[in-house]
């Protein structure tokens, strides 16, 4: 949960223009987690959660 929270905070700061860009060095990275299954010691997909929250809270359309 802490890794996801760090990435969400970073993503919101970039989207709001508080900072120009960011790079999150977090463990676990979350890239193995699937929608309903934890895999490779990853329980949450940090990037997917951050992207979804940006779309819901800030109405961000596309995320590349």
Q: Which of 5, 6, 29, 32 is catalytic?
A: 32
Place of tokens 């890794």: 3
Alpha carbon distance 19, 32 (integer Å): 28
32 in active site: yes
Residue 43: exposed, middle, or buried by beta-carbon count in 10 A (0-12, 13-18, 19+)? middle
State the catalytic residues.
32
């Amino acid at each position: 949960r802490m890794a996801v929270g760090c990435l969400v905070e970073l993503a919101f700061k970039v989207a709001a223009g508080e900072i120009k860009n960011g790079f999150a060095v977090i463990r676990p990275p979350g890239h193995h987690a699937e929608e309903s299954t934890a895999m490779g010691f990853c329980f949450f997909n940090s990037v997917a959660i951050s992207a979804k929250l940006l779309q819901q809270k800030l109405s961000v359309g596309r995320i590349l």
